[in-house]
């Protein structure tokens, strides 16, 4: 059974605050780098979130999957686009990635879709 996406996001937020308190320079540098990656440029932010989702599936990062599903939805992606992006991750991640797409990505869609 997939983990609860809302619980994963809440846990990540709490833990990131802890890391920020313990390693402020690292945290600040990470946030700056992450924000820079998602600035709209030649690629619309929606597509950057979909790319991030595909990578998250391939590397099996449940937190990242939830974040990118939620952000892709916020940027106007629909379920079909999100599932296609996740499928690209399966192409690179094999069977474990298929399991994550089938559980975590679908659970995140169910949790975050309006």
**Residue 67: partners with Cβ closer than 8 Å, 6 or more residues away:** 9, 12, 52, 56
pLDDT tens-digit readout, 32-68: 999 999 999 999 999 999 999 999 999 999 999 999 9
Nearest 10 degrees: Cα torsion 38, 61, 105, 51: 30
**Residue 31: partners with Cβ closer than 8 Å, 6 or more residues away:** none
Domain 5-112, classified CATH 3.30.1370.100, yes or no: no
| Helix 45-59 vs helix 79-100: crossing angle, to nearest 10 | 10
| Domain boundaries defined on the chain | 5-112
Contact between 75 and 98 (Cβ < 8 Å): no
pLDDT tens-digit readout, 11-21: 999 999 999 99
Number of neighbours of residue 52 by Cβ within 10 angstroms: 23
Indicate if the pLDDT at residue 1 is higher than 80: no
Distance in angstroms (rounded) separating the CA atoms of residues 76 and 84: 15
């Amino acid at each position: 059974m997939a983990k609860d996406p809302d619980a994963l996001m809440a846990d990540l937020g709490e833990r990131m605050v802890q890391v920020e308190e313990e390693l402020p320079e690292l945290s600040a540098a990470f946030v700056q780098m992450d924000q820079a990656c998602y600035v709209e440029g030649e690629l619309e932010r929606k597509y950057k979130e979909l790319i991030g989702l595909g990578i998250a599936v391939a590397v099996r990062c449940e937190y990242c999957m939830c974040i990118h599903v939620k952000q892709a939805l916020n940027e106007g992606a629909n379920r079909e686009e999100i599932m296609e992006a996740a499928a690209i991750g399966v192409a690179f991640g094999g069977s474990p990635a298929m399991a994550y797409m089938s559980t975590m990505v679908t659970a995140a869609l169910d949790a975050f879709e309006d």
